[in-house]
Amino acid sequence: MTGNPNQCPASGIPLLQYLCEEGSSFDPEKLQKRKYSKGQVIIHHMSEENDVFFLLSGRALAFLTSVDGTELAFDEIQHGSYFGELAAIDGGPRSASVCALTDVELVQVSSEAFLQMIETKPHFALALIKDFAKSVRNLSNRNFELATKPVSERVKSLIVREALERNQLFDGGVLKPALTHADIAQRIGARREAVSRSLSDMVSKGVIKTERQTIRILDAGSLTDLNEASL
């Protein structure tokens, strides 16, 4: 075993670097790589599997499906992030489904190995706790938006978050590929028709310009002034 990150198949993922540290009892060669195609479900809500997945490349989406078939997205999972840790920790069923938004490559870690790292690596456990705290804050903000803000402001908040993540929050910034109306509705818990009306209103007011798979920001100030409290 060596701590050389070039020999670790999970190189580039901060939390998994602890598995490759010198002196770790875990053999990084045992990490299982998996590939999923765009649209493929990686884990299913309420399933009993409890492995943890770390995203090497691509993007995934955590979501729930209601009885009438409506999907509500919780979070987009980016490269370097992970999911499935709740079931690994408490032994319960999966709390949500996760599907691939693009073709993805993952590292799959057994719940036993994950729990062993929590028990034996204080720095690993602390990093995990900090991630949990960040997730709780984000969920609290999203719940506040759902409970108190109209659809128009939730749409604007989502555009701002997307622009911040892509370093495009300025006049002339471009989101491409942009989320579809259906994607936005899924993310904010609204009807597609309401999202379309909100976007059309923003276009008519000169805040954004929409083109095929593109949202161009024309007036970033109008977005941020209305969303500072919810970012």
Contact 196, 153 (CB under 8 A): no
The per-residue pLDDT for 2 is 36
Rounded to an integer, what distance in angstroms lies between the CA atom of residue 6 and that of residue 12?
9
Say which residue the tokens 């009892």 belong to: 25
Where residue 229 falls among pLDDT bands split at 50, 70, 90? Answer: very low
Cis? peptide before 177, omega within 30° of 0: yes
pLDDT in tens, 11-46: 567 787 776 665 566 666 667 889 999 999 999 999
Average pLDDT over residues 146-165: 89
pLDDT in tens, 55-112: 999 999 998 887 777 777 778 898 889 999 999 999 999 999 999 999 999 999 999 9
**Side chain identity at 211, as an amino acid letter?**
E
Listed as own residue / partner, the contacts of 60-64 with beta carbons closer than 8 Å and 24 or more positions apart are 60/98, 60/99, 60/100, 60/101, 60/104, 61/98, 61/99, 61/101, 62/96, 62/97, 62/98, 63/96, 63/97, 63/98, 63/99, 63/186, 64/96, 64/97
pLDDT reading at 148 higher than 70: yes
Contacts of 26 (CB under 8 A, 6+ apart): 19, 113, 116, 117
Share of the chain above pLDDT 70, in %: 87
Where residue 145 falls among pLDDT bands split at 50, 70, 90? Answer: confident
